Chain A
Amino acid sequence: MRFFGKTSIDFMGKRYIWYAVSATVIAAGMLSLIVKGVNYGIDFLGGTEIVVRFQNNVDVGDIRTAMDKAGFTKAEIKTFGSDRDILIRTPEQGEGTVVGDRIRGGLQAQFPTNPFVVQKEDKIGPKIGAELRRDAIYAVLASLGAILLYLGFRFKFLWAAGAVTALFHDVLLTLGLVSIFDGLIPHLNLEFNQTMVAAFLTLVGLSNNDTVVIFDRIRENQKLFKSMDLVALINKSVNEVLSRTIITSGTVFVVLGVLLVFGGEVTRGFAFASLVGIVTGTYSSIYIASALVVEVVTRTKTQGKLID
C-alpha cells in the first residue's frame, strides 16, 4: 500500500506563504503570552495544590465561595478531568498541613452533603519552587546547547543555524499555542509544570529528528547531483522523503492523539504540547530550516553545500 507515488511538489516555491502563516501564528501566540501569560503549575510557583473528588458533580462557583470564606481569595480553582474532580491551588505557604487543612475544612463546610476524597496534595516550599524553575531553564538551555554542538559538528554552520532556528520557531510557536489553548476547551488544562518542560524537550528532539532526516537526504543528493540548483535540490530531497515524513509524523501524531484523549489528566498537557510540536517540527524542517539556507544562499550567491 502507498499513499503517494513519486511526487514532485514545489515546496520551496510556496515558502513565502508559509512564512506568513508562521509569523501570524507566532504573533498570535506572543500576544496571548503577553496578555494571558502561561499558567504556571505548582512545581514552579510553590504553595499548596490539592485535588479532590466529590461524590456528585459540583459547581466551580460554589467552590470559589467556599475558598473565599476560608480566606483563600487568591486560590485558583478548576476542574480536573471531570466535573466532580476539582483542583484548588493557592500560593500561600503555611506551617505543616495548615493550608491543606483549611482548604479541606472550607470544602466540608460548604458541601456537607457531598463528601469528597483527596486525590492528590502537593505542598512545595518556596526554595524548591525556585530550584525547580532554575533546573527547568538549565535543562532547556543544556539540551539546546547539546543539539547545537552536535549539529555544528555534523553539518556546516549555515545548515546547523537553520536547524536551530527551526527549533526556536517550534518552541515559540508551541509556547504560544499552549498559552492560547489553556482553558479554552473544557478539561484541557495546559499548565506549565515539569511534565510540560519534558514535552518541550521532547518536541525539540522530534523536530530535530525530522530536520536531520531531510538534511541527510540533501547531503546525499548533493554528492550525486553536483550541479543542481539548491532550490531544486531541496525540493527533490523533500519529495523523496515525503512518504517517510508523512508516515512517521502521522504515527507519532495518532499515538499522541490517543494519549491526549485517553491518557488522563496528568499527561494531557504533555500530549498537547508534543502534538503541536510534531506538526510544527515536521513543517519547520522544510519551511524554516531548509528555507533559511535558501534565503541566505540566494542573497549571498554562495553555494550552500551541506558538507565540504
Chain B
Amino acid sequence: MKKYAGRLIIIAACIVVAVYYLLPTWRDYDLRKHLSSLTGDDSLQYVAKHETEIRDARARRIKLGLDLQGGMRVVLEVNVLKLIEDLAKNKDEVFNQIMKEVRAEARTSEESPVLLLRRKFEARQIRMSRYYRNLRDTNDDIFKFLDDESTKAIDRGMEIVRNRVDQYGVSEPSIQKLGGTRIIVELPGVNKETEVRQLLQGTALLEFKLLKEPEVTYRIAESIDKLLASTAKTDTTLADSLFAGTTATDTARGDSAKADTAKIATPEGELSQEEFARKHPFFSIAIYNEQFKGEFLVAEDNKDRVRRILDRDDVQKLIPNDMEFLWSAKTQTFGEKGQEKKFFRLYPVKKTAELTGGVIVNAKWQIDPNYNRPIVTMEMNNEGSREWARITGANINKRIAIVLDNSVFSAPNVISKITGGHSQIEGMESEAEAKLLEIVLKAGALPAPVDIIEQRSVGPSLGEDSIRAGIMSAGIAIGLTILFMAIYYHTGGAVADFALMFTVIFLLAVLAAFGGTLTMPGIAGIILTLAVAVDANVLIYERIREETAGGKTPRAAVDAGYSKAFTAIFDSNLTTLLTGVILYQFGTGPVQGFALTLMIGIVVSLFSAIIITRVVFDMMIDRSGIAVNFG
C-alpha cells in the first residue's frame, strides 16, 4: 500500500479540488431548476432568501459562451483619428490633406494613427506645433501629448461604456480592452440590437447652441437659393434632385405656411410648383418655417439632397464661419390625412456651444404631465447653473438648440432667465429611448466617438438548440467510446473508462477554475479530447498485449507497456498541444473556446490515462497476483 500512497494522495487531492471548483456549477444548475419551478411571489421570495448563494454560484460556475446562452457581442473601436482632428487648432488645407492621407493609411495599417500623423508631418517638414498646443513645443512633446490624449480617451471610453452597460442592467456583462483602440462588449441574454447600438455608440456629447437670428438665416438661405438657381442649368444632378423634391414641398407648405397647394405665393406673385422649384431651388426643398422662425423643414427623402447642397464648396463659402446647420434627431409628420409626409427640421446654429454636457450632474427620465410624453430632466452643477442663468438671461426671446451628438432634440424659445440649473430634453419617441438617454447622460460623454466594427448576436433558441445538440452528441460519443473500450480491452478497458470519467471531471473543473468559457466548438473540443484520451490507453494496452505475447510476466508486461508507449504518447500529444496554443492565440470567441478545451483536455487526459490507470493496475496485480485482463 505504501508505494502507491504518494500517487493516491495526489489523485485524491486532484479529485477534491475538482469537486470544489465544480460545485458552484452544479449548485447554479440546481438553484435555477428550482427557481423555474416556482412562479410569482414564491420565486421572488426564493430569490430574496437565497440571494447571496445564487450570486455566488453564478459567479463561480462554468461560463457559457454567447453562442450557447444567446446574447450580443459588439466590438467598438475608439475613433482616435477624430480625436486628433478635433484637438487640432487653425486647421487649413494642408492639415486637411494630411488628415486625409492618415485616414487612408490607418485603414490598413497596424500602427497608431498618432504615429502615422507624426510621420506625415515629418515627411513634409512641417512642425506639428502649427496645429497643436504651443508654437514652442517640439514634435516629441506634441507626439507625447497626442499619444497620452488617445490613451486617456480609450481608458475613459471604456469606463463610460462600462457605466452605461452597468446602468442598462445586464447580468454578467463582459467588457474588455482588445489591442490598442478596441473594446469588446459581451452582453449575455440581450437581443435588442437597436437599443444596444444607441447605448454604446452615441458619444452623448450634449451641447446647448444658440440659433442664428432668423433675419441672418433667411438672408444666407436666399443667397444659397440664388447661387443654386444660377448654377442649376449647368448642373444636371442638382436639377434632378430639385424636381424630385417638389411634391414634398407641397404638403409641408400646406401645413406650415398654409399656402395654396396648386399655386405658391411668393413676393414675385403666384408661381406654379415647377416654376417655383426652378426659380428657388433651395427654398423648394428646404422650406423656411414661418411658424417657428429661424428653421427649415426638409422632407425625409430630400434630406440627402439638402445635405449634399450644404456640403458644396461654393455653398460653404456663403455660410459664415461661426455658423453651421444641424438636423433634428427625429422627423415630424405634416400634411393632411392620407398625404402625410415626414419632415426633418434643419437648424442654423452658432458653431460654438454656449454650454456642454460636462456640467450635467444628474439626469432623470419622466413623463411630462402637461403633454403626456417622455422627457429627460437634467440638473447642472453650480458653475453650470450660473452659466445657464447668464446665457438664458442674455438671450430672452431667442431659441437655444439642445444638441446631442450633433442632432437637435429640441430648440425651445427662451422665455425668462433660468436659475437653478434645470433643463430638459424633449422629442423622444418612447419611454425606452428616454431611459437610454438618461443612462448615457449620467455616464458622461465619450471623449472620442466610437465605431461598431463587429456585431454578433445569437438568439436564445439557437443557443438552446446548440446546447441540446452538444449534450446529445457528447453523450452518444462518450457512451460509444466507453462501451467499446470495455468490450475490447475487458478489465483494462473498464479501468480506462474509469480514467475517462475523471478526464471529463478534471477538464470541466479546470475550465471553471480559470474562468474559461464553454462554447459550441468548445464542446466539440471536449468530444475530440475524449477520443484522443483513449489513444494513450490504446497505445499502452496494445503494448502490454505485445509484451504479454512475448512471454513477460503480468507485472513486467505492464511496466514495459507503460514505459515503452510513453515516448509515442508524449511526442504525439505535444504537437497537438502546440496547435492548441497557436489556435488560442489567433482565434476569437468560440474558436478560442475550442482551443481552450483541447489544451486542457490533453493535459488532464494524460494525467488520467497514465497516472490513474497505472495505480489501479499496480494495486490489482499486487492484491490478486494474477494478470489483469486486457482482452
Are the CB atoms of B193 and A97 closer together than 8 Å?
Answer: yes
Give the docked Cα–Cα distance between A120 and B631 (Å): 49
Partner of A244, one of B524, B538, B586: B538
Partner of A274, one of B466, B528, B579: B528
A213's nearest neighbour on chain B, judged by CB, is B568
Q: Hey, which bits of chain B sit against chain A, CB under 8 A?
A: 67, 75, 107-108, 193-194, 197, 451-459, 461-462, 465-466, 469-470, 472-473, 476-477, 480-481, 484, 487-490, 520-521, 523-524, 527-528, 530-532, 534-535, 538-539, 542, 546, 564, 567-568, 571-576, 578-580, 582-583, 585-588, 590-591, 594-595, 598, 631
Report which residue of A97, A122, A216, A254 has the largest number of chain B beta carbons within 10 angstroms of its beta carbon. Answer: A216
Shortest Cβ distance from residue A252 to the other chain B in the assembled complex, whole angstroms: 4
Are the CB atoms of A124 and B454 closer together than 8 Å?
Answer: yes
Asked whether any CB of chain B lies closer than 8 Å to the CB of A177, the reply is no
Shortest Cβ distance from residue A192 to the other chain B in the assembled complex, whole angstroms: 13
Are the CB atoms of B466 and A264 closer together than 8 Å?
Answer: yes
Partner of B542, one of A96, A138, A243: A243
In chain A between 99 and 145, which residues have their CB closer than 8 angstroms to a CB of chain B?
A: 100, 117-125, 127-128, 130, 132, 135-136, 138-139, 142-143
Asked whether any CB of chain B lies closer than 8 Å to the CB of A204, the reply is yes
Residues of B within 8 A of A128 (CB): 75, 453-454
Are the CB atoms of A121 and B456 closer together than 8 Å?
Answer: yes
**6 cross-chain CB contacts under 8 A:** A139-B583, A202-B576, A206-B532, A243-B542, A255-B528, A259-B477
A142's nearest neighbour on chain B, judged by CB, is B582
Residues of A within 8 A of B451 (CB): 125
Give the docked Cα–Cα distance between A136 and B462 (Å): 26
Q: Which 6 residue pairs across A and B have the least CB separation, nearest first?
A: A264-B469, A139-B586, A209-B572, A205-B576, A125-B453, A262-B473
Are the CB atoms of B193 and A121 closer together than 8 Å?
Answer: yes
Shortest Cβ distance from residue A253 to the other chain B in the assembled complex, whole angstroms: 9
- Interface residue SS majority, chain A: helix
Give the docked Cα–Cα distance between A263 and B594 (Å): 14
Are the CB atoms of A267 and B578 closer together than 8 Å?
Answer: no
In chain A between 201 and 221, which residues have their CB closer than 8 angstroms to a CB of chain B?
A: 201-202, 204-206, 208-210, 212-213, 216-217, 220
Are the CB atoms of B586 and A264 closer together than 8 Å?
Answer: no
15 A-B pairs besides A124-B454, A128-B75 with CB distance below 8 A are A1-B488, A121-B455, A128-B453, A202-B579, A205-B579, A208-B572, A209-B575, A216-B568, A241-B542, A255-B481, A255-B527, A255-B530, A262-B469, A264-B465, A270-B524
In chain A between 254 and 308, which residues have their CB closer than 8 angstroms to a CB of chain B?
A: 254-256, 258-259, 261-264, 266-267, 270-271, 274
Are the CB atoms of A209 and B573 closer together than 8 Å?
Answer: yes
Asked whether any CB of chain B lies closer than 8 Å to the CB of A92, the reply is no
Residues of B within 8 A of A243 (CB): 542
Residues of A within 8 A of B75 (CB): 128
Shortest Cβ distance from residue B565 to the other chain A in the assembled complex, whole angstroms: 9
Are the CB atoms of B528 and A120 closer together than 8 Å?
Answer: no
Partner of A122, one of B456, B575, B598: B456
B455's nearest neighbour on chain A, judged by CB, is A123
Give the docked Cα–Cα distance between A121 and B197 (Å): 14
Asked whether any CB of chain B lies closer than 8 Å to the CB of A154, the reply is yes
Give the docked Cα–Cα distance between A204 and B631 (Å): 32
Are the CB atoms of A146 and B528 closer together than 8 Å?
Answer: no
Are the CB atoms of B542 and A139 closer together than 8 Å?
Answer: no
Q: Given A135-B586, A150-B578, do A258 and B477 touch, yes or no (CB 8 Å)? A: yes
Are the CB atoms of A195 and B594 closer together than 8 Å?
Answer: yes
Residues of A within 8 A of B571 (CB): 154, 212, 216
Are the CB atoms of A194 and B588 closer together than 8 Å?
Answer: yes
Are the CB atoms of B574 and A198 closer together than 8 Å?
Answer: no
Are the CB atoms of B480 and A254 closer together than 8 Å?
Answer: yes
B68's nearest neighbour on chain A, judged by CB, is A266
